[in-house]
Each structure stands twice: as C-alpha cells, then as structure tokens.
Structure 1
Amino acid sequence: MLRRVIGYPLLALSLVVLAGLVQAAPTQVEDVLGRKVTLELPAKRIVLGFYPEDYLAVGSEQAADRLVGMSLGWFVKSRPATWALYVAQQPQLAKVPDLGNVQDQSFSIEKTLAVRPDVVILADWQYQALAPDLPRLAQAGIPVVVIDYNAQTLARHLASTRILGELTGQAQRAQQMAEEYRQVVETITSRIAQAKQPKPRVYIELGDKGPAEYSYTYGKDMWGAMALLTGGDNVAAPFVERWGSLHPEQLLASKPDVILLAGYENVSNDQAMQIGQDISAETVRARLNGFIQRPGWADLPAVQQGRVYGVYHGATRSIMDAALLQFMAKAFYPDLFADLDPQATYLDFYRRYLPIRPQGTFMLGLAPQGAQ
C-alpha cells in the first residue's frame, strides 16, 4: 500500500516533467525568406518590429502579454487615435518597451538584448536594414523570424499570417484568416479575368504633403502591387520602380481614369489627405476637393467622371487590406463588384479578431455615385 501511495505522486510528477519537455521541444519555422529558424513554440517573450495589428489579431487575447519589446514609432505617430483604443482595451501595451525605429536608425540592439526575447519578429525591410547588427542577436542565441506584408502579394500575406500563427500558438486561427483573405483575392481576380474589360488607368498618391506638392506614388510596391492585383493599369509603373514622386506633367499626360489619395488620421499639413479613426466623411471630402484643384486636374478623366477616392494608408501592409482590395476593385470595375461592401469587411475583421471597434472614415469616393 505504501509503495502505491508513494508511486502516485511520483507518477504525477513524471507526467508533469514529461509534458514540460514535450511543450519545450524546439520547432523549426520557415520564414518568408525561406530561412529555417529553430525555437520553442509558442514563444513566450516576443519582440515585434512591425505589423502590430496583424500580430494582435492572429495571437488573440494572450498576444499582448507576450510582448517584451516593440518598435512603436511609426504606428503611434501616424495612428495615435487607433493606438489609444488598443491601450484602453489592453493597458499592458502601454508598458511594453519601445525599442526605437528602423526608419530613423534609432532601433536599439542593446535594448532588444536587454529584454531577453525568445524571438524577434521583423518585417523583411527591417531585416535588410538591420543586417549589419543582427549577428549580435545570433551570438546571444536570439532567433529572428522575418514576415512581410509590405510586398502586398497573396503569397507573402498568407505565409506571414501562418508564421504569426505558429509563433503565437494560434495556427488554426491564422489559417482561418489566411483562407478568408485568399477568398477575397480570388473572387476579385477571377471576376476581372472572366469579364475581360479594359483596364482603367490608375494613379495613387500618398497625400501627406497636401495639394501643393506631389508626394509618393508607387511602382511595384505597396499600392502599386494592390493596383495590379485588382486589375488596374498603374500609370506610375513605367516611371517609378518602387516608390517616388511622379512629375506633374507626366501625370497629366497619363490621363488616369481613377485616382486614389491615401492618408492617415494624424497629419502635419492642414491640407494633407486626412482619413481614418475619428475622421468624418465631410473632412475626407474637403481634403479630396483640395487635391482636385491642382493645376490641370480638371481635365483628367478621373476628375471629370467623379472617380477620385480617399483611402486609409493605415490599412495597408496588413491582412486587413482585404477591404481595401475590395474597395479598389469596386472603384475600378463598379459593375463587377456592386455586391461588395468594403467598409463592412473592414469593420467586421475588427469585430471578429481584435479588441477595438474603430469609428471614422476609412475609404470614400468624392462623388455620391462613387464606391462607399
């Protein structure tokens, strides 16, 4: 009897130890660059370089608690109202150390080492920029996993979402998001392919500088890749490889059928394209009206036909850009996509996968008959 009594606790202890060993078994993850990275999953201490909303959406309720460091500057600067919503719902986010920004070369490897992460998740562009410093993380035994929503391709969007699912222990949830995104893209591309309509000529500009100065447009990246995916003929593609400004005379000569002006809610120029959290439709229309006053724009087909649109730059580089793809497809081919409700798609993603409920204007046409 004594042997049996003693045996039960020993057996229980053995099972606990065995379970811990099984949970801690290293797993190999392949990132978007094809790098095979070995680490213990799910990761408990995570440094996140970019894509906070995708990370929080995939990782579910526990995701915020696993963050030990973030690169916060871009998100907080461009989308402060949205960040405030997240902090209100998950106050622990306000306590996550800010490790600096790759864009302005303030990202700190020392601070990253100090928070002792299990993994550092970087955007592809961050990985390239930080390449000279990354051996220090490797020497400390800290794995780096690369994801990429900036490429705006179906393949990398799906892969990045699944990788986040592996890292956070939410593979099934990530797979569901990935499949929903695939369905949106395939619906758009298949309808356009079957219709065989002429491609509309499209111009897209980040309207952060206001009407007085032409800001970034996009070639093969970002909005340029999205325009290609949604059946647009990007007028900037022959002149801008990745991103840069297009000369006003070249834009006028291109005669776009559709114009998209992208922006954030937080702008430094009182005439810049302002759109997003807490921004009214009246403000968006007022800013769009300012842009169409540019010299020569009155003669552009897009302006004459009322096909000028404001779009939220904060919803790009994300699995949530499915709504923007729908909006663009509807703007380019209104007769093919009358059944789509991009605004509902955008807000529904938050309802299903994130703790906040955005309110504002995220995509809007200048003319009443435009896509809403």
Structure 2
Amino acid sequence: MRILHTSDWHLGRTFHGRVLDDAQATFAEHLIELVEAEHVDAVVISGDVYDRAIPPAAAVSLLDDTLCRLADRTRVVLTSGNHDSAQRLGFAADLLREGLDLRVRVADVDRPVIIPDAAGGPGLYVYALPYLDPDAARVSLPGLLAERIGEPADGHALLPRSHEAVVSGALRLVAHDLASRRANDQAKVPALVLAHAFVVGGQASPESERDIRVGGIDSVPAGVFTTLGGSPLAAASGGLDYVALGHLHRPQELHAPASPRLVYSGSPLPFSFPEADTAKSSVLLELDTSGVTRLERIPTPTPYRPITLRGTLEELLAPANAAHATDWVRVELTGPMPSGTMARLKDRFSNLLAFSHARPEREQRETIIISRTSDPVEVADRFLAEMLGDDPSPAQHAIMSAAYDAVRSRTNSKEER
C-alpha cells in the first residue's frame, strides 16, 4: 500500500497580514500531481485543515475543490484538529461521495476505513482519531469503553482531565477492534492511526502552533501508541505500524522503544519567521504485511520565502541584502534608529512585514531631572537620544522646537483673552 500523509494545512491563515490563499492553492495542485505521479492508494490528513472554527469562504471553497479532485484519484481519510470545528467540518459526512471519509466523531475511532489491496481484500486499516478535547472526551469515552470492550463503568466516573487519558482510552478501543480483525485475517493487514496531538519528544515551531494545554497537561507519551493505551489486547492485536501525527508544524519522526513509526508530516507551508529554515514536506510511505517498508519526505513548494534580517541600518541596507528585496522580511534593527529609517527599509524591502528595534545598551543610563526651569525642547532632545540610541538630527530638533513654540503661542493667546 502506498500512502501519502499530510496535515496542518491551516486554510484561511494569514502571515503577518498577508493572505496565503494563492500559496495554499499551489500546495493543493502539488498534492494532486503527487497523487497521480506516485499512484497513491490513499491520502491521510491528520487535522487542522482549517485555521479557525469558522473559516473564510475562500478556504471552504479551496478545501471543497481539493477534496473532490483528490477523491476522483484516490481514497481520502481526513480527521479534525484543534483548529477545526469538528461539527462544521464533519457536516453531512455520511452523505459524502465514495472515496472520501471525514472522521470527526469520538464514537468512530474504532471503526477503521479499510483501504483495499489489488485483489480487493483488506490492504490497510486506517483508524482516525480526531483531536480529542479532554473536557468533552473524558465524558463520552467511558460509556463507549464500557459498551464495546467491557471496561468497568463506575457510575458516572470520568477519565482524568488530560490528553494522555483520552487518547489512551481511544486507543484501547482501537486495540479491541484490531485484535478481532487480525484474528480472522489470513495474513497480517497493516494498521495506521491518525492522531492530532502533542506527543512527548516532539519539537514545536515558535510562533506557529496554537497551545492545546488543558489543565496544565498538553502532551501524550509516545508509549501509549506502543501499548495502545495500556490495553491488555495490545500484543494480541499485533500493534500499530504507523502513526500519522498532526499538530506540530516541524516535520519530524519520534523514536521510542518497540514503538510504531511515529511521524509528523508537518505543515506544508511556513506560518512564522522561525520556520524559515525548516524544509516543508509531505510523507510518502509504503506498507505491507511486515509494516513500513519505505518512508520518503516529498518537499512541498513554498511560493514565498520568510527571512529575518538583523543588524544596524547600514548593515541592513548593504548590497549583500539586495537578494532579499522581494522576500517576506522581518527586520530586527540594532544600534541607532535615525530619522527616515522605516522609509528607507520599506524602499529596500518591498515585503517588510515585521519590525523591532533593539536599542543599544548604555553602560549607564542618563537620569533626566526635570524642573520648572527645564527647557522642554532640551528634555525632548534628551528623551529622543535615550530612545533612539543617537542624538536627534537637526531636522528632528527643529520639529520639536516648532511644536513647542506652536503650543506655547496658543497657550499665551488664550491667557490674553
């Protein structure tokens, strides 16, 4: 089986005010071409297809078009993330076209999508875990665990309020179903789980992901995917072969003893300046009865290039930075900030999206003592020197002096009346 794993599209997101619709449409075209070129048996999408619960109309239109085109070419399994509204994303899921499965309900976590092999038999079991909000899932899971696998129900007892507890509960349901299916299979059918969670050991991307901390606990130990949530049927089930993770935007694989392949595809586009040096990709993998036999990261196209430039004004405007004239730029200015700095930077970098100024540290800050006899213009000059790291220019001094004279003249005129 050849599977394409992707996640965290965040359709509708902006980058420091820049709309990403065109860049996300470029990724969608790339994905469709990849499915055709690689003869992919299924695309699995591990949540956060939208950037917010109520996405803009353009994002809904792009997702609709992309899913329809993918479903014309292969099987698609999609689950919700913490940015998505599961109810809105899963609306009319039971009425969707053949080949497109939207899994957003907790009650469906142990009901796999079965990807057929070349002979028409089961080729892969895909269990889709949506983002499990602890406050809701700790209420709904105990009844399912009692009904389906006979876990003792202690009245109205709830699961602990953590991601580990609710993901473990869902995986125990998966273990029960998987053990039952594999007991009747003539040959081992590989199993894949989609999960949207922060797994311990994963590396986040600064300024990119939304915090999913609940009750101070936001992570899931990697071991729960090995033990299937502590299920007594973990060994009998044969275990998982691949966990298609979503939530973290940095592509990475986590390693734990005797664990299945735990892989974050990462987001297809950079959503923050710190992500500029992270290569974005989708994961193409192959599985057979022995598990994962091949795993390859396929780079995704990025129509824009975010970059952070740091230095004095002279360093930033140097010829060496001319290559970044059309990049999406964040400037961190050090040293003095003379008059006209922003205008000069915007003239050099047409896509200047973020700016900060690190004022030079002085060995000893000047203490400005103000009295009734102090010259207001002199006080303003000394304040500007302290804030900008350099003495005000003659033009800046003239502006402050003229402003003071205008206020003083107006005040005197009122007093004379």
Whether TM-score is above 0.5 comes out as: no
Give the structure with the larger helix fraction: 1
Question: TM-score, normalising length from structure 1?
Answer: 0.29
Instruction: Determine which structure has the larger strand proportion and give its number.
Output: 2
